[in-house]
């Protein structure tokens, strides 16, 4: 009798066997440790728990992504084609950036719990069932790596810690696209699971067919409640950095909206920017140059003698804090008029600072022409503190803090 040789893996596949069955047959004897059928006995490693956490994460990620896109484009100089960032409503950027940081912060406990609930699936057997299964698993790598990268670089950013070499904003932006792309693949692949495990009919059916297995320790409901409590706690502990009435609860907020000279936080002090001598120099002038009919060169006293206007506006730092104040000073629009600049002109605002990425900024037309866009000389009635931009600083509605240039010395009409 002739013994037939064992068919190879490829022969099995050609014979129409599923990849999963073939792998199981070939490698089944290696299945041990975390790959064992009951290696993870906790009832909390559950599909429905994972799906509910996934929905919460989806909401947080969608909020974070859209507000992040808005912030990215708000910081891109001037207009993109016909799109120009509007100057009103004045509060818009404050709300979107507050949501960006709050949804990113809330996503951290959600992601940690979700990863713990699903990590046994890393050891699913067979490791690959078919092509869609392989692709779904592969798409998890950029999703998990991207999510961890975004949430933790974002968190470090709110703490003003930049221990990396790369540019934060560009990297955060591109990794966000990769992460959201793989998130869409993941959600697509999980739609069937969602339908099976979540929703009123599923809940009723599951209560009968698959009730929570008895056991000691945390129940599934308990885990979800604890996660919700953790999300609530980190939110309350930080959101006071932008929602002022909650500031006393915000024990973990890196900045509070009323702590700093003149009751306002400081991002980069005059000393840190190396401008302490320059701002007190009697030779200080505010000049208006570029595409103008007459160049202006004004002393501080001449600026103070021009008509002064008030504006209630907030500084909204991209790092998550925001704080409002009443500013008064000279309208940029009126300075541009005095110099005979076109009302359609964009403007570059330059400071006395010699180095540093935020030493200048640009005003698009809606911002340059807005009556609340000021070169502010005073804050809540007092002369500006050096750390808030003495002798004068730009303040303009609906604009990221990085563009509220301090220690201004020149307006270049473009
Ligand atoms: N010249 C100059 N202006 C600047 C900065 C800077 O580094 N240099 N930092 C900006 C940032 S990031 C913020 S959030 C605001 C903070 O203003 P404040 O320190 O008066 O609160 O100033 C902006 N203006
Ligand atoms: Mo900032």
pLDDT tens figures, 224-254: 999 999 999 999 999 999 999 999 999 888 8
pLDDT at 3: 65
Residue 413 has pLDDT above 60, yes or no: yes
Rounded to the nearest angstrom, the distance between the alpha carbon of 237 and the centre of ligand 2 is 20
Nearest CA to ligand 1 atom 4: 405
Name the residue of 75, 264, 267, 323 whose CB sits within 8 Å of the most ligand 1 atoms, as the mutation to test its pocket. Answer: 267
- Look at residue 1 and tell me whether its pLDDT is greater than 60: no
Q: Are strands 309-316 and 360-363 parallel, antiparallel or unpaired?
A: unpaired
pLDDT higher at 182 or 4:
182
For residue 116, the model assigns a pLDDT of: 97
CB atoms under 10 Å from CB of 226, counted, come to 13
pLDDT (tens digit per residue) in 374-384: 999 999 999 99
Position in ligand 1 atom list of the atom nearest CA 272: 7
Q: Is the pLDDT of residue 331 over 70?
A: yes
pLDDT computed for residue 204 by the predictor: 79
Q: What radius of gyration, in Å, describes the C-alpha atoms of the chain?
A: 29
pLDDT at position 175 is 97
Mean residue pLDDT of the chain comes to 92
pLDDT of residue 255: 86
The band of 10, judged by pLDDT with boundaries at 50, 70 and 90, is confident
Stretch among 47-61, 121-135, 169-183, 291-305 having the lowest mean pLDDT:
121-135
Alpha-carbon span 395 to 379, nearest angstrom: 11
276 pLDDT band, cuts 50/70/90, is: very high
Residues with CB under 6 A from ligand 1: 264-268, 273, 315, 317, 351, 353, 356, 358-359, 387-389, 401-402, 404-407
Residue 296 token pair: 């202006």
Rounded CA separation 315/308 (Å)? 20
Ligand 1: atom nearest CA of 353 is 1
Question: What distance in angstroms lies between residue 275's CA and the mean position of ligand 2's atoms?
Answer: 18
* Poorest-pLDDT segment among 173-182, 188-197, 392-401: 188-197
**Gap from CA of 173 to ligand 2 centroid (Å):** 17
CA distance 81 to 354: 31
Is residue 207 predicted with pLDDT exceeding 80? no
316 Cα–ligand 2 center, Å: 7
Ligand 1 pocket test, pick from 262, 350, 358 with the greatest ligand atom count within 8 Å of Cβ, gives 358
Beta bridge partners, 309, equal 329
Percentage of the chain lying above the pLDDT 70 cut: 96
- The predicted pLDDT at position 214 comes to 81
Q: Check: CB of residue 24 under 8 Å from CB of residue 126.
A: yes
- The rounded Å distance from CA 289 to ligand 2 centre is 27
Res 111 pLDDT > 90? yes
The residue with greater pLDDT, 41 or 407, is 407
What residue's CA is closest to ligand 1, atom 7?
Answer: 358
Is a pLDDT exceeding 90 seen at residue 194? no
Could you identify the residue written with the tokens 């440790």? 33
What gap in Å lies between CA 95 and CA 114, rounded to an integer?
Answer: 28
Task: Give the predicted TM-score (pTM) of the model.
Answer: 0.92
Pick from 27, 25, 103, 38: nearest CA to 64: 103
Residue nearest to atom 19 of ligand 1 (CA): 266
Task: Provide the pLDDT for residue 165.
Answer: 81
Give the model confidence (pLDDT) of 30-81 as tens digits: 888 999 988 998 999 999 999 999 999 999 999 999 999 999 999 886 666 5
Q: Is the confidence at residue 372, as pLDDT, over 80?
A: yes
What backbone torsions phi and psi does residue 401 show, to the nearest 5 degrees? -55, -35
Among the ranges given (8-22, 57-71, 137-151), the one the predictor scored with the smallest mean pLDDT: 8-22
C-alpha–C-alpha distance, residues 115 and 50, integer Å = 9
CB 104 within 8 A of CB 239: no
For residue 319, report the distance from its CA to the centre of ligand 2, in Å: 6
Task: Give residue 406 CA to ligand 1 midpoint distance, Å.
Answer: 6
Query: What pLDDT band is residue 271 in, cutting at 50, 70 and 90?
Result: very high
Q: How confident is the model over 271-300, as a mean pLDDT?
A: 97
Mean pLDDT of 132-147: 91
CB 101 within 8 A of CB 155: no
Tell me the mean pLDDT in the region 319-340: 97
Whole-angstrom Cα distance, residue 385 to residue 219? 55
The DSSP bridge partners found for residue 330 are 375
62: its two tokens: 């969608």
Ligand with minimal distance to 406 CA: 1
Ligand 1 atom closest to residue 351's alpha carbon, by position in its atom list: 1
Amino acid 30: pLDDT: 84
Quick one: tokens of 180?
Answer: 């959201």
Contact 331, 347 (CB under 8 A): no
Distance (angstroms) between ligand 2 centre and the Cα of 266 equals 9
CB 151 within 8 A of CB 108: yes
Higher pLDDT, 219 or 164: 219
| Residue 276: partners with Cβ closer than 8 Å, 6 or more residues away | 270, 386
Q: What is the pLDDT of residues 88-107, one digit of tens each?
A: 999 999 999 999 999 999 99
Kindly indicate the confidence band of residue 338, based on its pLDDT and cuts at 50, 70 and 90.
very high
Q: Report residue 134's pLDDT band, with 50, 70 and 90 as the boundaries.
A: confident
Q: Contacts for 236-241 with beta carbons within 8 Å, 24 or more apart?
A: 238/101, 238/102, 238/105, 238/158, 238/320, 239/98, 239/102, 241/101, 241/320, 241/321, 241/322
Instruction: Give me the mean pLDDT over the 110-122 stretch.
Output: 96
Tokens of residue 39, six digits:
């290696």
Most confident of 14-28, 194-208, 310-324: 310-324
Asked whether the predicted pLDDT for residue 153 surpasses 90, the reply is yes
Best mutation site among 71, 401, 409 for ligand 1 pocket (most ligand atoms within 8 Å of CB): 401
Any idea what DSSP says for residue 129?
A: -
């Amino acid at each position: 009798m002739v013994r037939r040789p064992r068919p190879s893996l490829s022969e099995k596949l050609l014979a129409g066997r599923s990849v999963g069955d073939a792998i199981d047959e070939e490698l089944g004897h290696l299945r041990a440790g975390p790959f064992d059928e009951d290696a993870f006995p906790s009832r909390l490693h559950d599909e429905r728990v994972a799906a509910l956490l996934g929905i919460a994460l989806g909401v947080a990620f969608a909020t974070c992504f859209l507000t992040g896109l808005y912030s990215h484009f708000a910081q891109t100089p001037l207009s993109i084609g016909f799109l120009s960032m509007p100057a009103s409503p004045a509060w818009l950027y404050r709300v979107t950036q507050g949501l960006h940081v709050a949804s990113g912060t809330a996503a951290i406990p959600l992601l940690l719990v979700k990863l713990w609930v699903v990590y046994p699936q890393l050891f699913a057997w067979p490791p690959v069932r078919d092509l869609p299964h392989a692709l779904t698993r592969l798409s998890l790598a950029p999703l998990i790596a991207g999510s961890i990268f975004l949430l933790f670089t974002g968190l470090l950013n709110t703490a003003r810690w930049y221990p990396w070499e790369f540019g934060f904003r560009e990297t955060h932006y591109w990794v966000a696209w990769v992460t959201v792309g793989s998130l869409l693949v993941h959600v697509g692949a999980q739609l069937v699971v969602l339908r099976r495990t979540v929703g009123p009919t599923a809940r009723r059916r599951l209560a009968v067919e698959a009730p929570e297995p008895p056991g000691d320790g945390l129940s599934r409901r308990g885990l979800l409640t604890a996660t919700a409590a953790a999300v609530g706690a980190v939110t309350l502990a930080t959101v006071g950095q932008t929602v002022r009435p909650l500031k006393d609860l915000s024990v973990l907020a890196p900045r509070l909206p009323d702590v700093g000279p003149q009751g306002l936080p400081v991002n980069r002090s005059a000393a840190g920017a190396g401008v302490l001598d320059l701002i007190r120099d009697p030779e200080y002038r505010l000049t208006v140059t570029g595409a103008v009919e007459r160049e202006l060169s004004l002393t501080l006293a001449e600026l103070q003698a021009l008509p002064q206007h008030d504006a209630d506006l907030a500084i909204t730092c991209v790092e998550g804090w925001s704080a409002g104040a009443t500013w008064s000073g000279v309208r940029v629009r009126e300075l541009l008029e005095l110099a005979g600049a076109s009302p359609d002109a964009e403007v570059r605002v330059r400071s006395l600072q010699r180095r540093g990425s935020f030493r200048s900024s640009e005003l698009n037309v809606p911002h340059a022409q807005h009556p609340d866009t000021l070169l502010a000389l005073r804050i809540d009635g007092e002369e500006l503190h050096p750390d808030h931009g003495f002798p004068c600083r730009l303040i303009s509605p609906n604009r990221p803090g990085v563009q509220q240039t301090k220690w201004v010395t020149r307006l270049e009409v473009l």
